Amino acid sequence: MAVYSENNNGILYRKRLKKHAASVCKVKSIKKLLPITEWLPRYNLSFLIQDIIAGITVGLTAIPQGIAYAVVAGLSPEYGLYASLTSGFVYIVFGSCKYVTVGPTAIVSTMVAKYVLGYSPDFAILAAFLSGVLILLMGVFNLGFLVDFISLPVIKGFTIAAALQIAASQLKSFFALAGPSGNYFAESVYYFAINIKTARLWDPILATITIIMLILLQKLGLGCKRTDDLLKQIRWFISLARNAVVVVIGMIVAYIIKVTLDDEPLALVGNIDKGLPKIQPPPFNTVVGNETYLFSDMLEVLGPQSIVLPLVVILESVAISKAFAEGGKVDATQEMIALGLCNIVGSFAGSMPITGSFTRTALNYASGVQTQAGGVTKCLLIIVSLTFLTSTFYYIPNASLAGLIIVAMFSMIEYEIILQLWKVSKREFFLLTITIIVCLCTGLEYGIVAGIVLEALILLFYQSRPTIQVNTLKSDAGEITVITLPDAVPYCAAEHLRRLLLKVSMKLDANYVTVIDGTNLKSMDTTVAANLLSVIEDYVRRLRPIWLLNFNSEVKNMCLVVNKNISDKFISAPNVLDFAISFRKEV
């Protein structure tokens, strides 16, 4: 009876332990999926003050940038604010990095522009929804590793080309030109050349002044952050909010000219819809002009190249998260889930596609944000802007936004990477150059795809051309040629390996003993095995001695399945020295 009771208690204890473990796993899963459950219980007054300061700083940049990037996308300015608003609230709950600020960015806006110009904003909203669904699925199924196939030269080439393209597209607003701005760099330069005669006087002057002010304001805050001097702290804050400062100055100038001269010599943003976005499902059909586009028609307009958009969204956000995450560690899967939900939820509130913003994330970091709650203040500022300030935004000059965007774009270009790759890797420099050229001449989507495909072809070429080591050993038993195989030989290298082995055999005297050393070889497939055994058969036909040394059991069994007659060719030894009995090594 005592034994039964003890066993029974043990069973009950194990059941309770399993139940507790399951409970712990469930709690960990919830905390991982909802990072807000990690930081919210620890929230305090000190965090609140820091988050409010950071939120105001970021909000003063997010508003002008949101308006500017909406214009880049060919949308009405309020769409940029809608995107920052909805995504901001979602990321507070699901975002894993407290520094990251999501919203519209220059690159994503440029990629969306081709779907808006000539059609309608509904295509941008649908693109946000579809991108969000795809990103969410990739996060759920842990497919983020696919992004790892995009190499650094391709990413840098894409970024440089995107910066140049976006800057070129702003030439229209910079000079207040008539006509379109173009969908890619070469087209933008072409339209600029044929429309330069329509340039106005005051717009390029204001845009140039804006650029100079931004550069000076950036320098104004250098060395002013870590100080108790109130004046320096004010300088630091003004420097951080420089985007808002130059836009406000531009608005004041435009308003004064309008009131005093009763004229508008500057091209202005114009009317912006007042109020918060309407909550409604994303558009699965739309009307453009007198033509109705069903969901299938809209997908046809977006085209297969639109698959690049969610990849770029993931690339931007994950790269930013890694750059600013504490300890350099970031949960890429959670970031993808957060991004996917930001885009999906945003599409129900008229949002364009969004991702992490490097500029605003850097501001968040510099402002000392403590938790994701810093986004609340930013979102509240955007709500105030949409509710009360839209009539004021009418006076924002397009030239001011153009100057702001051009400065932001040239800060994205990493000139040093070009010189670095030229010095250390001509192959990667070539890859970078091709990516840039294709992006500039045909469009960003085609450029990054061309870079990925070219990188894959180069990778396949190198995989199909493995190197083998050939050493000659001399011993009392005769001369031995040792051919050392690499650790892995893919099927695409099978023929190349066969040619190399035959080439070596042609150079050897008939009395040489050949040893193919498979000590390093971890894996190969049947294609390689068949080609390797054809070389063995060639040696046998010519009555030349050959041995297969230290092949692991898996590779050996594969070879025996392909050809059972070579079982006597396999040998095992600690090294070639033991096999040769006695020798003196000469290279």
As a three-state string, the secondary structure of 389-413 is CHHHHCCCEHHHHHHHHHHHHHHHC
Which ranges of 266-389 does DSSP label H, i.e. alpha helix? 295-302, 308-324, 332-347, 358-366, 374-388
Amino acid identity at 39? W
Tell me which H or E stretch contains 92.
Answer: helix 78-94
Low-confidence ranges of the chain (pLDDT < 70): 1-29, 31, 223-228, 323, 325-329, 475-478, 509-511, 575-587
| Cα–Cα distances in angstroms (integers) from residue 418 to residues 156, 312, 313, 412, 440, in the given order | 9, 21, 24, 13, 16
Amino acid 582: pLDDT: 41
- Strand 488-489 vs strand 523-524: parallel, antiparallel, or unpaired? parallel
Cα dihedral value 255, 261, 263, 268, nearest 10: -20
Query: Which structure tokens are listed for 514?
Result: 């050949």
Q: DSSP assignment of 533-549, as one string?
A: HHHHHHHHHTT--EEEE
Amino acid 587: pLDDT: 35
Amino acid 541: pLDDT: 83
- Strand 583-586 vs strand 469-475: parallel, antiparallel, or unpaired? antiparallel
Residues near 460 by Cβ (< 8 Å), separated by ≥ 6?
492
pLDDT tens string 241-259: 888 889 999 999 999 988 8
Residue 506: φ, ψ to 5°: -65, -25
What is the DSSP secondary structure assignment for residue 268, as one 8-state letter? B
- pTM (two decimals): 0.78
SS3 283: coil
* Spatial distance between the Cα atoms of 165 and 170, rounded to a whole number of angstroms: 9
Residue 350: φ, ψ to 5°: 75, 30
* Spatial distance between the Cα atoms of 563 and 285, rounded to a whole number of angstroms: 62
- Strand 513-517 vs strand 546-549: parallel, antiparallel, or unpaired? parallel
pLDDT tens string 319-367: 787 767 665 567 778 889 999 999 999 999 999 999 988 888 888 887 7
- Strand 291-293 vs strand 286-288: parallel, antiparallel, or unpaired? antiparallel
* Spatial distance between the Cα atoms of 74 and 116, rounded to a whole number of angstroms: 6
* Spatial distance between the Cα atoms of 221 and 157, rounded to a whole number of angstroms: 31
